[in-house]
Structure 1
Amino acid sequence: MRSTRTYLPLLASVLLCACSAVPDAGRSPTVSLPLHQAWFDGRKVDYVTTDISDPAMAQALGVNLVPRLALALPAPGRPSLVERVYKFVDDSQITVFQSAPSPTGPGNTDTSYSPLWRMVLVKWKQPAQARELKSEEQILSAVEAQELSLQMTDIIVNCPITRSVDGRAIAGTK
């Protein structure tokens, strides 16, 4: 009778092969995620949401709850890993991103872009005066004109941009 030690390497090999099985007919497996749009500098971008640090929002969106994302918040003496995303609390319009890849994909040269976003809640002081704002500059001008209030949160969202203002998309996107 052989010992368990004799079979462990064989079992490990079988398990590793099962994890790296080649997809049928050379096709890569795909996944479908809800596609969202946001504004960046007056043009629409497409993005997906996969993870969020806030339990209620993760539940509402049906995405992964990842409390550790909050560790991406800037700390004294450390550069920030996050950009700002402006979310209108009344859902009166789509969100506004602070940055986007340029160009989209592996050639991105915009070093300020990050798929990790710190949520800023935006609220119109006079809802009847609401209008669509399409850039961070427009939002900040409206704040300066005292038309909007902003509330910086500690909520971090992972929302990679899949198609940017240049119209290019990351590989595998339709």
Structure 2
Amino acid sequence: MKKRWIGLGLISLLMTGCASLGSSPVSEPSITMPLFPGWFDDRKVYYITTDASPVAAAIDKNANFAPRLNDALPPRPKPPELKTVIERIYGFPEGDQPAILPSAPDPIGATSVNRPYSPIWQIYEVRWIATSERRELTSESALFDAEANGWVSITATEMVVNCAVVADAEGNHLPGSMIQGL
């Protein structure tokens, strides 16, 4: 798969590591990572991609290969009562538009009340069938309407990614992070 999702900004994150578990980050080191745009309920959000599986997805996303992410995939068909950590992310492999996310933290940070949000995503590919109807879709409901009208096809992949939503277009971002270029 060609690299089509392009970062729009940069985020500097203070890296504390899971082992520290403290509430205050260390003063060094820092890292700069690309932000990827996405749409959640007609709002532009930004996420980072740190891990992916299978290896081809990790290479494509410039991420860590994390084979255990595939353990998050539920059996198919997924029983409706089965709750899992995995969420869908709808990607447009032809570069048509940013991804569509069905959940995001609200607000971004530790006070989020959006219980369905998870940073573990199974990638669903979206392709336009009716190119004359092509437009930017900015929510999962708009995507499902386009599918119901026969304008797009949505196909589940075996790709799983760890993509945390870290900022939005209004300038909200993870506490302790610094945003450049938004």
Cα distance in 2, alignment partners of residues 111 and 49 from structure 1: 21
What are the residue-to-residue correspondences of 1:108-123 with 2, within 5 Å?
Answer: 108-123=112-127
3-state SS of paired residue (1:139)? helix
Matching residue of 2:86? 82
RMSD of the alignment, in Å?
2.0
State how far apart, in whole Å, the 1-side matches of 2:141 and 2:53 are: 26
Unaligned runs of 5+ in 1: 1-19, 21-25
Q: Within 5 Å, which residues of 2 pair with 1:3-152? A: 27-75=27-75, 78-152=82-156
2:166 to 146, 159, 162: 162
Gaps of 5+ in 2: 1-19, 21-25
Q: Under a length normalisation based on structure 2, what TM-score does the superposition of the two structures give?
A: 0.76
Matches of 1:60 and 1:113, distance apart in 2 = 24
Q: Which amino acid aligns with 1:43?
A: R
- Greater helix content: 1
Q: The residue matched to 1:142 in structure 2 has which SS? A: helix
One-letter amino acid matched to 2:58: A
User: What TM-score do you get using the length of structure 1 for normalisation?
Assistant: 0.80
Contact in 2 for aligned 1:162/1:169 (Cα 8 Å)? yes
